Amino acid sequence: MRAFVVTKYREPLREADVPEPIVGDRDVLVQVQAAGLNQLDEKIRLGEFKQILPYKLQLILGNDVAGTVLQVGAKVHGFKPGDEVYGRPDKDRIGTFAERIAVAEEDLALKPASASMEEAGSLPLVALTAWQALVEQGHVRPGHKVLIHAGAGGVGSIAIQLAKHLGATVATTASSANAGLVRDLGADIVIDYRTQDFELLLSGYDLVLDSLGGENLEKSLRVLKPGGKAIGISGPPDPVFARKAGLSPVLRLAISALSSKIRRQARKLGVSYEFLFMRASGDQLRQISALVDDGVLHPVVGRVFSFDQTPEALESVAAGGIRGKAVLSLTE
């Protein structure tokens, strides 16, 4: 079976002939027809998460899948061969840059009927991230004010739409070239990050979804109202994440130290900071499918690459500038 793998951190992806997936009793074997590319894939390739995601190399990369069910395990009851599905495999079972993958039944959902395979393949990781940030951790309600950074990106483009659906007033940062796109997605306030300082223009926000970290995250704390919350998806990880991830005491201590500065700054301002590392969830994807089919959420696919172009595609994602998501197509 063809796949694209990481054999050594920081080296380019390479094609390899790998064994066929093993299908457990509660697994679904999927013929991969589309696979989204994410910044997470690049960070894994670079080894940035090797302390908290200790993968054994060689590793098939890829965190998003859409495709057709080929086979189901003996204890699978929710899917059958021929079903069109999509999902984000569990973090310990990634590997969608391959012709086939076995995914736990609980991590899959039927793909939105109105979406193409490429659109469905673009969604799982970013849509789950937006859902878990805004619905689970952010508790966004009508009347809330939400700032979403990098609104034209993969997470941002879905988060804007979801926040509007939840009844929020949405501000976002984007380049002037992408201002029209994010307004069409539902953004009420668009700030050109190249020429404007969002900290000087915004205040009294209930929630900030930050995908950039560093100084951008620090400034984001200052636009929140007392009791507001900043959720970071680029880090730094916080102690709650370390505990939920079951990391060793040494790693938990190190992670606590990494995020101590930003958590201290948040406390002084009367706000809070939380790190989000999204988890797989077929249940949430079923709700997302309904929103897509109802016309509430529209996948934004900026570029489609062939399977042969996987290394080049990941380089393009790392370089930035792609609207929405880049997707691999394996249908040719």
Same domain, yes or no: 87 and 181:
no
> In this predicted model, what pLDDT tens digit does every residue of 175-225 receive, in sequence order?
999 999 999 999 999 999 999 999 999 999 999 999 999 999 999 999 999
Same domain, yes or no: 52 and 115:
yes
Same domain, yes or no: 62 and 80:
yes
Same domain, yes or no: 105 and 86:
yes
Q: Is residue 195 situated within a structural domain?
A: yes
Which distant-in-sequence residues (6+ apart) come within 8 Å of 224 by Cβ? Answer: 204, 205, 206, 207, 208, 230, 269, 271
Same domain, yes or no: 112 and 16:
yes
> In this predicted model, what pLDDT tens digit does every residue of 131-159 receive, in sequence order?
999 999 999 999 999 999 999 999 999 99
Q: Is residue 281 situated within a structural domain?
A: no
Q: Which of 260, 275, 290 is the last residue of a domain?
A: 275
Nearest alpha-carbon partner for 307 in 60, 90, 33, 41: 33
Whole-structure pTM value: 0.96
Cα–Cα distance for residue pair 274/114, rounded to 1 Å: 34
* Burial 217-243, CB ≥16 within 10 A → b, else e: bbbbbbbbeeebbbbbbbbbbbbebbe
Looking at residue 305, its pLDDT comes to 98
Q: Is the pLDDT higher at 250 or at 45?
A: 45
Consecutive H or E run containing 306: strand 301-306
Q: Is residue 314 situated within a structural domain?
A: yes
Question: What's 176's domain CATH number?
Answer: 3.40.50.720
Same domain, yes or no: 220 and 198:
yes
Q: What is the mean pLDDT of the chain?
A: 96
Same domain, yes or no: 107 and 176:
no
Count of structural domains within the chain: 2
Q: Is residue 228 situated within a structural domain?
A: yes
Range of the domain at 112: 2-123+299-329
Looking at residue 332, its pLDDT comes to 63
Pairing relation of β-strands 224-232 and 205-210?
parallel
The one-character DSSP state at 190 is E
> In this predicted model, what pLDDT tens digit does every residue of 278-328 receive, in sequence order?
999 999 999 999 999 999 999 999 999 999 999 999 999 999 989 999 999
